[in-house]
Amino acid sequence: MRQRLLIATVIVTALAAWGAAAASADVLNQLRPNVSSPVSLLGVASGTDISFTQIPVRLRGDLAVQFHGDQATGCATRGLCGFSGTVIWQPPSTGSIDVDSFRDHGRTEYDVSLDLSSQGFTVGPAIDGGTTTADVRFAPNGSAGSSSICTDAAATGADIGMPVNLRAASLTLAAASPSLLGTRCAGPLQSDIASLLARRVVDVATLFHGRAAVDLASSADFAVHGLAGTVTSTVELSLGRPRTQRFSDGGSSSKQPTVRTVVLSYRAHLDGSIVTHIHGDPSSCAALGSCGANGTFALRVHSTPGTLALGTVTRARRPLRDVLTALGLRKDGNPRGILVLGFFIVHGPLMYSVNVAQGANTCRDSGPAGPDAITLSPTGTHLRAEFDGALPAPHLRCPGPNVSQVAFGAPPIDHLTRRGGTIHLTGGSQVQDDGYIGRTAANLTLTMGPPKLLVSTDALRSANPG
């Protein structure tokens, strides 16, 4: 299933980049990530009804988390005892619940999410999602340094996933991206409070009707990983009238363009680390409470083997040698205009570890990361590979900057696509964030086994590639 997901992702990306005519909904119509082969990825299976429903939502209320260091759950070993504060998430006043319906193995499945990204015209710069504000104080015990305060704000919760089981959608704020609690200040993680947030189970059919109120108010205490406190939500959703776009099978496929999918798949794994050293920036540390801070954030990766897919979609009448040339497998074709993309989802042991010293206090934390991803795209004679860590705030429960954990590599394409091999992803960049400066160093190795070539030709239902 994971292999299908990877291949599908490559093709979705390729198609989306292929032409403006293929609107995103059309691309979805063609490609579900959980179909059985590259052929069926192109959506020629008959009788598949897919719809996209958007339900306008008005939001009221806030989410507040008040916390303090907690001896009983190990604040001393984590250096979190001196921290206390309040984190508040305030949603935007409007958003939408998006319901994507699709067929999978003869059953209708649903993806449901609360989309709070900025929509339409705004006078000023748009804020994607809601706003999280943190007010966190650090008061060390005894003579272990001086007290400080961290105040910060961030745009968070642009997309909130709503899990669906059978036909029951769980409406909750627990799976927001970016995290509803993510700022540069110390504090609990979203995963620490996720189970305490209200979860309203609604039948998808009821959701389709819209025009309902959903109360996500709740209040509960938490004590986990060195921090304890209270989570209070007064958030309410007011669902408006839904708009549904249905996708038919587009009639006879004989009139549609025929496309060829060529995918190289490799067994691959990723190993290595990205380490960021930071310290408080004297010019801006006061407001973040980071004066005198010194720390290290490390992402260590030893991924489980998975499938790396590198592929492309073209019109079927384009000579195959052109496609194989674009993939670096031949040299006698014309690769012009063929877009090749690759994808590898990094699963398995990915671990963030944090160590931030300030005065006599050292905050230590660790936690799982990922899944992250490596994207691949040819640039002339080389294959550019890019790793982009999914977590924008790798400081976990400790205070720290928002940094990108990025690494690049660009080996010659033909050597890799023919036989597999290794790609070294490196990178060093300066960190310059509110309250912090520092440097990131990446050293990752992507190991690819020998390739398997998959070629399929089929009709595209309604997208209109150029």
Partner 1 sequence: MPRSRQIRIEDDNAVVRVTDPGSTPTEPHICTQLAPVSMVLTIVRTHSAGLQATGLPFFSPPSSGDCAGPSDSLGAFSLPARRLPGPREAYDLSNTQSFGSGPYTVTIRSTLRARRPAGSAPGGPGTSSSSGSSSSSSSGSFPPPKEQKALVESVSMQYRITGISGTVTTTFAGRPDPFCAPLDACGASGVVTDAISGSENRFEFDAQRVVKRRVSRRDALGDLRSGRLMLLDTGVLVGDRLSANVGWPVGSACTDRLRQLNALDVVALERRRHANVLFGLDTQVEDPFRTACPGPAGADVLGSSETLARAVMPARDLGRKSLRIVLSGHGRFVAGSYAGSHSSGLTLAMTLVRVRAGTKVESVFPG
Could you identify the residue written with the tokens 């408080």? 280
- Indicate whether 231 belongs to the interface with partner 1 (CB under 8 A): no
- Indicate whether 142 belongs to the interface with partner 1 (CB under 8 A): no
Closer Cβ to partner 1, 64 or 338, answer by number: 64
| Paired sense of beta strands 306-315 and 421-433, if any | unpaired
- Indicate whether 149 belongs to the interface with partner 1 (CB under 8 A): yes
Q: How far is the CB of 358 from partner 1 (least distance, A)?
A: 17
Q: Cα 237 to chain center, whole Å?
A: 24
Of 86, 218, 238, 456, the one binding partner 1 by CB under 8 A: 86
Distance from C-alpha of 235 to C-alpha of 253, rounded to nearest angstrom: 47
- Indicate whether 287 belongs to the interface with partner 1 (CB under 8 A): yes
- Indicate whether 151 belongs to the interface with partner 1 (CB under 8 A): yes
Which parts of 335-420 are beta strand (E)?
341-346, 350-358, 361-368, 372-379, 382-388, 406-409
- Indicate whether 428 belongs to the interface with partner 1 (CB under 8 A): no
Distance from C-alpha of 281 to C-alpha of 439, rounded to nearest angstrom: 12
Distance from C-alpha of 171 to C-alpha of 419, rounded to nearest angstrom: 47
Closer Cβ to partner 1, 196 or 310, answer by number: 196
- Indicate whether 155 belongs to the interface with partner 1 (CB under 8 A): yes
Q: Which of 287, 328, 320, 321 is nearest to 417 (CA)?
A: 328
Distance from C-alpha of 147 to C-alpha of 269, rounded to nearest angstrom: 45
Structure tokens at 279: 């310290």
Q: Which of 212, 156, 209, 163 is nearest to 184 (CA)?
A: 156
Q: How far is the CB of 10 from partner 1 (least distance, A)?
A: 25
- Indicate whether 227 belongs to the interface with partner 1 (CB under 8 A): no
Helix ranges (H only) for 61-128 are 75-78
Of 70, 152, 322, 372, the one binding partner 1 by CB under 8 A: 152
Could you identify the residue written with the tokens 């993939």? 327
Number of Cβ atoms within 10 Å of the Cβ of 332 = 9
- Indicate whether 406 belongs to the interface with partner 1 (CB under 8 A): no
Number of Cβ atoms within 10 Å of the Cβ of 166 = 10
- Indicate whether 236 belongs to the interface with partner 1 (CB under 8 A): no
Q: How far is the CB of 222 from partner 1 (least distance, A)?
A: 16
- Indicate whether 66 belongs to the interface with partner 1 (CB under 8 A): yes
Number of Cβ atoms within 10 Å of the Cβ of 263 = 26
- Indicate whether 466 belongs to the interface with partner 1 (CB under 8 A): no
165: part of which helix (H) or strand (E)? strand 164-165
- Indicate whether 314 belongs to the interface with partner 1 (CB under 8 A): no
Q: How far is the CB of 64 from partner 1 (least distance, A)?
A: 5
Q: Binding marks (x or -) toward partner 1, 330..369, rule CB under 8 A?
A: ----------------------------------------
Q: How far is the CB of 227 from partner 1 (least distance, A)?
A: 16
Distance from C-alpha of 179 to C-alpha of 62, rounded to nearest angstrom: 15
Judged by CB under 8 A, the chain residues 107 through 136 that form the site for partner 1 are 123-128, 131, 133, 135
Of 40, 94, 119, 218, the one binding partner 1 by CB under 8 A: 94
Of 2, 60, 246, 317, the one binding partner 1 by CB under 8 A: 60
Structure tokens at 185: 């200040």
Q: Cα 354 to chain center, whole Å?
A: 21
Q: How far is the CB of 196 from partner 1 (least distance, A)?
A: 17
Could you identify the residue written with the tokens 């839904």? 242
Closer Cβ to partner 1, 169 or 288, answer by number: 288
325: part of which helix (H) or strand (E)? helix 320-326
Q: Which of 129, 418, 427, 456 is nearest to 274 (CA)?
A: 427
Closer Cβ to partner 1, 400 or 451, answer by number: 400
- Indicate whether 281 belongs to the interface with partner 1 (CB under 8 A): no
- Indicate whether 403 belongs to the interface with partner 1 (CB under 8 A): no
- Indicate whether 294 belongs to the interface with partner 1 (CB under 8 A): no
Closer Cβ to partner 1, 108 or 131, answer by number: 131
- The contact set with partner 1 (CB under 8 A) reads 60, 62, 64, 66, 86, 88, 90, 93-94, 123-128, 131, 133, 135, 147, 149, 151-155, 283, 287, 402, 434
